[in-house]
Structure 1
Amino acid sequence: MAISLSLILLLLAALAAAEALSPSQPPTATAHSSSVPEIQDTHLKNILDALVGTGDYGGWASLLASTNPSGLPITATLFVPSNAAISGLLTSASRLDPLLVPYHIVAQRLTFSELQDLANGTRLPTLLPANFIVVTDSSPASFAVDGSEITQGDIFLNPAFSVHGVNRVLNYSVFGGGGSGPLQRPPEVEGASLFRRKRLRPLGMPPASAAVPVRSGGAGRSCGGAPVIVFLVFCVLFL
């Protein structure tokens, strides 16, 4: 009886210990997940401080300040138009296009030196779905994306983010991918497709023209066999 009572007490103690340990696990996961927005918020604040500190990009910093830090990717490259470039946007009575800010953010950290290694026509995917920033001038003297020159590279740089100043607002309706911009179909690609179509044209010729060589070849082979048969008959009869 004493043994049974002790076993029951041990079982109750084990159940109580299990119940005490189980609630402690979810808070750990919650604390870990909540740290990601905090880190992104810190990154955004540091970027805003750097932009305001330069004196030339405070206008775009105001636009970034209204964004949700949790919407930023873990790593990113930001292209920031100067105050002069967005002066018309800030003074316009019309509502600011909400797609502008996400289009100026690439979900990959690229330093200015890494950008200079890219070739003309390289497309960089942005936070605006199905839209790309295009390298339009890869020369060292005037590197440009979407026709906008990078006038100040690496305004802000850390292991996760890089920020570059540009002299014009990037236009997704021209270069992004959804419009009819000049680089939507590069000349070399168009030329290659035309070449392939020219090579495929002979396949559409009428069957009769394709059958002529076959009949000609067959006739040649049958005519070529006649002298052999005559020679064999001659050998049988006269040898």
Structure 2
Amino acid sequence: MNPTDAAPEATRSADEIRAYLVGRLNAALPRPEMFGGEIALRTLLDHLAFAEGREQAWADENQALRAAGAFQATGVIGGFARLLPDHRDQKAAASVYAEFAHRNGWLELDRALSSEEYRALRDAVPKWCTENKWFTDVVESFGEPSLLIGGTNPQFSKTLGYATARPEDPMVLFHLWNGTRPGNPPSGPPMYGQPVVMAVRCADGPDPFAGTFTFTPEGAHRRPPAEEY
């Protein structure tokens, strides 16, 4: 039989396509660099929004990010570069897309906080951030995260997300950083034994992007000067 005469294979159903895209998105969010970074996440969300007929919601999200100052010429990563010391923090950028995924029911949580746990966390953040905190402080204070972005190596920068099962409850994101000492190459040994919390972010309302951050003393100290932008 001529190969061109073979019966075509059945195409995927809409449910299969959706499940595949949701799976790829949830694989990419915790390790964005391994999947191509912010561009890859945006592509996955664009495809998923199309598959579910939510193109307008995705367009509205992008407009809101621009209006809030979160999306710059280089993408969301540019918005974080104005506030956090790592100018190429793909992990922080991934957290913004995780928020959109959560609101649309696409994010698969490792742990969903109860309403009591969530409210206690929200109430604790302002005072908690008045002192410098480390990776172990976050987990000891609030338990294992709902989403870990950046891998399990305790030395490297990461973002920890805490969320309930309710899409209407804004995620709470802890942005942690660990750089190298001045004069050492970026691939050199970490400055600290574990990453330090720069800020806690929670987008609850129409505040500008910078207004959603609660900085620790170390985060305020390392925040890039405004004149750099």
TM-score (norm 2): 0.31
Q: Which has the higher helix share?
A: 1
Determine which structure has more spread, i.e. the larger CA radius of gyration. 1
TM-score by length of 1: 0.30
